[in-house]
């Protein structure tokens, strides 16, 4: 837990001044399945990656819908997509990612949308924090009218993707690292965080108010033990 006497505390991002903070996981929390798979399908349709890759993405999607992905599973999916994108020119991908972001927004669970709008009406600073690529998460946040989207950054050199990450994977402990990268050192003791997976326990435990949404078995058990609310959104 953050030490409230630390002089660095406080929101360091000017838009956070005097506002609550609501942090939403994306995949299986706000939307069913994986936003990364939507991107993979779009890359296949545009022939940016080989058609055979679609079978892998669909298989990952089915597995993710059923039980989510473990830390190693998420890293393997991310690495696979990064590897396929290696050497691709970056700028032409941005319009495609925006289209995929709009597609993901259309998949939002109605109950999840009501939850997001509730926080917006309260005046909270609302952000999506996801392992999916920064550009995709940002497009989803923009499509929802949220304040910020924070995801995993890919390295770009001379206008081309290198197939490597630029910073930590925004997953598990990496979510807190990416949050600090984007917004500075924050006091999370009054923040509320929503997630479906036990891999997000570092984030949930760092926030003053944690909510388990459509939780996997491990998170459901942890939420029950900690007395956190459990939401089953359909």
Say if residue 8's pLDDT is above 90.
Answer: no
The answer to whether 232 is a known catalytic residue is: no
Buried b (16+ CB within 10 A) or exposed e, 193-230: bbbbbbbbbebbebbebbbbbbbbeebbebbeeeebee
Task: Identify the pLDDT of residue 46.
Answer: 78
Task: Tally helices (H) and strands (E) across the chain.
Answer: 9, 8
| Catalytic residue (choose from 27, 147, 187, 196) | 27
Strands 21-24 and 125-133, sheet pairing: parallel
The answer to whether 25 is a known catalytic residue is: yes
Angle between helices 35-45 and 53-67 (to 10 degrees): 170
pLDDT in tens, 150-189: 999 999 999 999 988 899 989 899 999 999 999 998 889 9
pLDDT in tens, 52-81: 555 455 445 444 444 445 455 556 666 666
Residue 2: both structure tokens together = 């953050």
Task: Identify the pLDDT of residue 44.
Answer: 77
Domain definitions of the chain by residue range: 14-231
pLDDT in tens, 197-233: 999 999 999 999 999 999 999 999 999 999 999 999 8
The class (CATH top level) of 14-231 is alpha beta
pLDDT in tens, 128-142: 999 889 999 999 999
Task: Identify the pLDDT of residue 85.
Answer: 73
| Catalytic residue (choose from 25, 147, 187, 196) | 25
Strands 160-165 and 154-157, sheet pairing: antiparallel
Task: Identify the pLDDT of residue 81.
Answer: 67
Helices (H), ranges, the chain: 35-45, 53-67, 71-85, 93-106, 110-121, 134-144, 173-183, 201-206, 217-226
Say if residue 124's pLDDT is above 50.
Answer: yes
């Amino acid at each position: 837990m953050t030490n409230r006497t630390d002089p660095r505390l406080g929101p360091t991002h000017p838009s956070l001044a005097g506002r609550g903070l609501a942090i939403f996981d994306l995949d299986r929390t706000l939307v069913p399945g994986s936003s990364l798979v939507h991107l993979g399908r779009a890359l296949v349709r545009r022939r940016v990656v080989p058609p055979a890759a679609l079978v892998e993405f669909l298989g990952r999607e089915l597995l993710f819908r059923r039980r989510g992905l473990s830390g190693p599973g998420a890293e393997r999916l991310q690495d696979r997509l990064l590897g396929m994108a290696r050497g691709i020119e970056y700028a032409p991908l941005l319009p495609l990612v925006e289209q995929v972001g709009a597609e993901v927004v259309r998949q939002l669970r109605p109950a999840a949308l009501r939850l997001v709008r509730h926080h917006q009406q309260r005046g909270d600073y609302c952000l999506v924090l996801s392992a999916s690529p920064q550009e995709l998460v940002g497009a989803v946040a923009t499509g929802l009218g949220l304040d910020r989207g924070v995801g995993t950054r890919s390295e770009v050199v001379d206008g081309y993707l290198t197939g490597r990450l630029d910073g930590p994977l925004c997953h598990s402990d990496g979510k807190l690292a990416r949050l600090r990268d984007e917004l500075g050192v924050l006091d999370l003791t009054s923040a509320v965080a929503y997630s479906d997976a036990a891999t997000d326990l570092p984030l949930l435990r760092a926030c003053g108010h944690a909510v388990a949404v459509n939780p996997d078995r491990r998170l459901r058990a942890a939420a029950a033990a900690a007395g956190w609310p459990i939401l089953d959104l359909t």
